[in-house]
Chain A
Amino acid sequence: MNTKMRLRAYNVFFGDAFLLSIPDRDANGHVEMRHILIDVGNAYNTKVGKGGEDFVLLPVVRNIQDELGGRPIDLYIATHEHYDHVQGLRYAAAHGNPRIRIPIARSWLTASAAPDYYTRFPNSIMKLARGMVAEVRELEKALTAAGQEPPAHLHLLLDINDPKQTDKCVLHILGQSASSDFIHRDFNLAHRHPFHEVAFDIWAPEEDTAVYYQDIQKLAASTAVPVATRQPELIRLAPPPGVDASAFNNLLNIRRQSVIDTMLFVDKAANNTSLVFTLTWRGWKLLFAADAEQRSWEMMEYKHKLSPVDFIKISHHGSQNGLPTEKMLASLFPTPTANTKKRIGLLSTHTGTYTGVPDPDTLQSYQNLGLDLVSVGDRCAPGEYIDIFFPEGALAPEY
């Protein structure tokens, strides 16, 4: 066991939960098994069907607790503040019987999770984005009340991005952590983790993530919540004299659609601010791509971060949005030589939760490069796990 790193990937339906158990040798040759926990969460459980069922989280967190044997997690990495990545530990602490509280020696979160982030970066668009969820919920209710069915997917976006819920999860993680760091590409990681043999490289994001929020625009949806009914409703506006009513209403409807569309961009921006990092141990280089989408990949390429890896946690649950371009993939997985290790793409997703995810063409892109595709959902039952071993000096992982 001292010569193999183990990645345990849990089936949490639609979400991510990974436990890395790493034999870590110090300068004196003493080996200690240390653990990194990455994310733990699944989709919000309204309207997504099975993909968001929370019962799976309890056996997962219990198993993590068992593996730790009473010790704290050496390093917990929350890649970004989406519900399907941060929910798990808080859920287990609230609903476990007995309640399960996992102590964390050190946690890494995105820079934007820092309590003083919006003071140091008074970027109104990011703050705006957080505030938009409540407004879009109001519009959603008003449209429904008016008999205009909003997109089914909107509810999912609202749930997964709701800061009221995700903030609680982040607070729980911070509360469980003896120390926390808010990480970005240029963050100095020296002395920020206990590992002797593991090298981390943060590929994304930068500290100021405003660029990913450029697409977001805040429009008023012309809704109101009358005191009498306390139910959101669409405001009926009359066009000014001399203005065609049909054209005027068309403008308002398109603006309302823009408000709804903005949630897509809020979601995308949050994905693009995922912590993307590599972890290198005794010749193995693993890439955890969280939910990075195209703009994040473009920035990583621009910053010359893309380099060959042996393993990738496939981004964004296998969606087309998370697929790097062909050129980027070629940087990550160059044509293999005799000394190239067998490469793996790990897929953590649940088919049917979101339309088009996972995307078959996206998965094929990885397979075309010769990667073995390992799908957690296909290989183990919900709440259970698969183990992938990375033996020191070997050319192929074991699973």
Chain B
Amino acid sequence: MKVRLPLMVQDPVTSSLKGIRTTETFYAYGDDFYDGPVTERMVVLDLHPNTGRLVPGVRFVPPDKILAHYDIPKNIYLNATGKKIEEYDITTRQFKQAAVLAMALKTLFLFERNKETNSDVIGRRLEWAFNAPQLFLVPRAGTSANAYYERASHSIQFFSFSSRKEPGQTIHTCLSRDIVSHETAHAILDAIAPELYDAVTPQSLAIHEAIADLAAACMAFESGNVADMVLQETRGEIENTTAFSSIAEEFGQARDPSGRVQYLRNLYNHTGLKDMIEESPDPHDLCQVLSGALYLLLVRIYKELIRPEIIHKYQAKPDPAYSASGEALRITSAIFRRMVFGALDYLPPGDATFADLGRAIILADRAMHSEERAATIRSWLKEEFVRRGIITNQKDLERPADDPHEPIRIDIDSLIASDWVAYTFAEANRNLLRIPRGVTYRIWPRYITSRHHKTGPQSYVEAHECIFKVSWTELEDNHYRPFPPRRRVAAGTTLVIDLKASPPCICARLTTDRSEDHIHVRETYLRRLHEQGILKLEDQPGLQHQFPNAFITAKTTNNALRVQATARMLHIVRNDHEH
């Protein structure tokens, strides 16, 4: 069934300021759409902000000579030329209910196969990290300048607040395409790499923020209306416009009464690790290094696609540059998503770093694309990572020459289905999996990914792989005295088995970056969290026992600190001074 849903183009204030449409149409496919909306994967629960009662959901209209859709009130008026215009009334609860689902679903479809795009980025169906089928979207969760994904409650909660810039104006985060995509991307990344949620390494948490921001940027690229506006204004130059790169414009403006702040974050930056002033920067600041690197890669891909010789192909069009750039945006977004989001399954479990993600991107892309253009793009990524100080040498992102390529002589179906078979394999291959001597480890559920990309009318490329992940904890010294003398840090290996080869063989092995640079950064980060009163020790008296959700609580087991759920702090807004 094809279902028509309303989608916010950006957010109400930004659309109005830029003179673009407020809404556009999105088509979702599936059989399970009900009033609410309630679907198989996502549910909108509209709790009244004042009473907490469940507000009736928007009515689903099944297909009957017209496309299936949701019954949303519309404003009808005549425009200047007397033409009747119908527009969704975005002030209604029905619109908020339907639109938040649409934005979240579309974000999911940036990663998963769907009928609209017909491409597989992640190559498998994702299961939410909270082991339940439905992600709850609460569009009117309450009053606060915030929105957050929360694993424990299986939900994303969107709050509303009064604008500090325009008194009397209420800002609904559920109506911001950037914010909805950003938070949904957190839920998606949690499904793909759940160990990042408990990371104690700032770069690991920053990966969450960067991927979430990039998902929001890709949503902008996918919007015909935004692309249209930008390309009309800039004649195909996307580098200097913030339309794609600025995240949450309405939100950022509304929080600043002075009017200086134009958005929450800008992906178009040249920030390097060496520019981080603090020893252990907040993940919201640190993420700009990674998201900036990847965003510049995206810009570079786009510029390559609108070279003069490419534009020449559109000579027959009324405006060749404009036509070429529109097509280029679409292709750029697709390439970028396949390259970056498609690599997330390669991330090693544990406290993954920017370099780990870089390696995952290079290896996952090489597994699908051997053509020259892809190799060139990969070299750009390596250059950018070096330039920003993420790595010192481009070779750091390459697979070592002596990395194993051996065949896996084991029944893959059994490896996936049977934990016993998987543990036997791991135990027999501890060296291969780089499991340290004497540590216990965890085998993650194995799965198959089929990443598929059409390259022509009759041609395609695909990667058909089995992902095998094993993780363990390592101990580091704690020098900060309120903490016990050691702390646990999660590490692991992802083994990627190429199932197209016969017999299947290892095509990639990625182990979490264990460089000593991160040890001091972790210490400083945890110390700061403790000094700020955010991190509490379970074995000490305090309010963490009565208000467990208000803190991050660290346990001490066998004299070592174990911290969990640090990603709960990743709200849209950094808790910071308004300087």
Which chain A residues have a beta carbon within 8 Å of chain B's beta carbons? Answer: 122-125, 128, 151-154, 210-211, 214-224, 235, 237-238, 240-244, 247-248, 250-252, 254-255, 257-258, 260-261, 264-265, 268, 293-295, 298-299, 302, 320-321, 323, 325, 355-356, 361
Known contacts A251-B154, A254-B549, A264-B550: A125-B143 contact under CB 8 Å: yes
- Which single residue of chain B is at the shortest CB-CB distance from A212? B577
Interface size on B (CB < 8 Å)? 56
In the complex, are the beta carbons of B155 and A356 less than 8 A apart? no
Known contacts A222-B47, A242-B43, A251-B155: A217-B146 contact under CB 8 Å: yes
- Identify the interface centre among A154, A221, A251, A264: most chain B CB within 10 Å of its CB: A251
- Is B19 located at the chain interface by the 8 A CB criterion? no
The answer, among A240, A247, A261, A321, for a CB contact under 8 Å with B57, is A240
In the complex, are the beta carbons of A124 and B143 less than 8 A apart? yes
Contact code string B532-549 (vs A, CB < 8 Å = 1, else 0): 110000001111011101
The answer, among A214, A217, A320, A356, for a CB contact under 8 Å with B575, is A214
In the complex, are the beta carbons of B154 and A250 less than 8 A apart? yes
CA distance A49 to B108 in the complex (A): 54
CA distance A169 to B395 in the complex (A): 68
Listed by A's residue number, 7 A-B pairs whose Cβ atoms lie within 8 Å are A124-B143, A244-B133, A251-B45, A251-B154, A257-B549, A294-B532, A321-B533
- Is B124 located at the chain interface by the 8 A CB criterion? no
* Residues of the B chain whose Cβ atoms lie less than 8 Å from the Cβ of A244: 132-134
Give chain B nearest CB distance to A362 CB in angstroms: 10
Give chain A nearest CB distance to B387 CB in angstroms: 31
* Residues of the A chain whose Cβ atoms lie less than 8 Å from the Cβ of B150: 254
Known contacts A242-B43, A260-B547: A237-B53 contact under CB 8 Å: yes
Contact code string B95-130 (vs A, CB < 8 Å = 1, else 0): 000000000000000000000000000000000000
CA distance A64 to B58 in the complex (A): 66
In the complex, are the beta carbons of A240 and B51 less than 8 A apart? no
Please provide the chain B residues from 153 to 176 with a CB less than 8 Å away from any CB of chain A in the complex: 153-155, 157, 159, 161-162, 164, 167
The answer, among B159, B542, B577, for a CB contact under 8 Å with A298, is B577
- Known: A125-B143, A152-B546; 10 extra A-B contacts, CB below 8 A, are A219-B52, A220-B50, A220-B52, A220-B142, A240-B43, A247-B134, A250-B154, A257-B549, A294-B531, A355-B543
The answer, among A248, A265, A293, for a CB contact under 8 Å with B550, is A265
The answer, among A210, A219, A254, A264, for a CB contact under 8 Å with B543, is A264
Binds A, one of B21-29, B30-38, B240-248, B502-510: B30-38
Give chain A nearest CB distance to B260 CB in angstroms: 15
Give chain B nearest CB distance to A244 CB in angstroms: 7
Contact code string B134-149 (vs A, CB < 8 Å = 1, else 0): 1010100111111000
* Residues of the B chain whose Cβ atoms lie less than 8 Å from the Cβ of A264: 543, 547, 550
CA distance A240 to B97 in the complex (A): 14
The answer, among B34, B531, B541, B575, for a CB contact under 8 Å with A242, is B34
* Residues of the A chain whose Cβ atoms lie less than 8 Å from the Cβ of B550: 261, 264-265
Q: Sorted from nearest, which 4 A-B pairs have the closest CB atoms?
A: A222-B52, A220-B52, A217-B144, A151-B546
CA distance A113 to B34 in the complex (A): 51
CA distance A363 to B50 in the complex (A): 43
- Is B49 located at the chain interface by the 8 A CB criterion? yes
CA distance A295 to B574 in the complex (A): 13
* Residues of the B chain whose Cβ atoms lie less than 8 Å from the Cβ of A217: 141-144, 146, 159
- Which single residue of chain A is at the shortest CB-CB distance from B548? A257
CA distance A220 to B541 in the complex (A): 30
- Which single residue of chain B is at the shortest CB-CB distance from A215? B575
* Residues of the A chain whose Cβ atoms lie less than 8 Å from the Cβ of B48: 220
Please provide the chain B residues from 521 to 579 with a CB less than 8 Å away from any CB of chain A in the complex: 531-533, 540-543, 545-547, 549-550, 573, 575, 577-579
In the complex, are the beta carbons of A293 and B533 less than 8 A apart? yes
Known contacts A220-B51, A240-B36, A244-B134: A294-B57 contact under CB 8 Å: no
- Which single residue of chain B is at the shortest CB-CB distance from A293? B533
* Residues of the A chain whose Cβ atoms lie less than 8 Å from the Cβ of B43: 240, 242-243
* Residues of the B chain whose Cβ atoms lie less than 8 Å from the Cβ of A268: 533
Give chain B nearest CB distance to A322 CB in angstroms: 9
CA distance A223 to B52 in the complex (A): 7
CA distance A220 to B143 in the complex (A): 9
* Residues of the A chain whose Cβ atoms lie less than 8 Å from the Cβ of B549: 254, 257-258, 261
- Which single residue of chain A is at the shortest CB-CB distance from B43? A243
The answer, among A124, A211, A235, A320, for a CB contact under 8 Å with B578, is A211
Give chain B nearest CB distance to A126 CB in angstroms: 11
* Residues of the A chain whose Cβ atoms lie less than 8 Å from the Cβ of B152: 250, 254
CA distance A241 to B167 in the complex (A): 39
The answer, among B49, B155, B546, for a CB contact under 8 Å with A154, is B546
The answer, among A151, A152, A251, for a CB contact under 8 Å with B136, is A251
- Which single residue of chain B is at the shortest CB-CB distance from A242? B38
In the complex, are the beta carbons of A219 and B38 less than 8 A apart? no
- Is B482 located at the chain interface by the 8 A CB criterion? yes
Contact code string B56-99 (vs A, CB < 8 Å = 1, else 0): 01000000000000000000000000000000000000000000
Please provide the chain B residues from 164 to 209 with a CB less than 8 Å away from any CB of chain A in the complex: 164, 167
Give chain A nearest CB distance to B143 CB in angstroms: 4
- Which single residue of chain A is at the shortest CB-CB distance from B257? A208
Give chain B nearest CB distance to A364 CB in angstroms: 10
* Residues of the B chain whose Cβ atoms lie less than 8 Å from the Cβ of A355: 541-543, 545-546
In the complex, are the beta carbons of B144 and A216 less than 8 A apart? yes
Give chain A nearest CB distance to B138 CB in angstroms: 8
CA distance A325 to B529 in the complex (A): 11
- Is B54 located at the chain interface by the 8 A CB criterion? yes
CA distance A214 to B573 in the complex (A): 9
Give chain A nearest CB distance to B41 CB in angstroms: 12
Give chain B nearest CB distance to A206 CB in angstroms: 9
In the complex, are the beta carbons of A220 and B38 less than 8 A apart? no
In the complex, are the beta carbons of A153 and B53 less than 8 A apart? no
In the complex, are the beta carbons of A302 and B579 less than 8 A apart? yes
In the complex, are the beta carbons of A247 and B132 less than 8 A apart? yes
In the complex, are the beta carbons of A294 and B145 less than 8 A apart? no
In the complex, are the beta carbons of B134 and A356 less than 8 A apart? no
CA distance A295 to B155 in the complex (A): 29
Known contacts A216-B144, A361-B482: A125-B577 contact under CB 8 Å: no
Known contacts A219-B52, A240-B54, A243-B38: A248-B143 contact under CB 8 Å: no
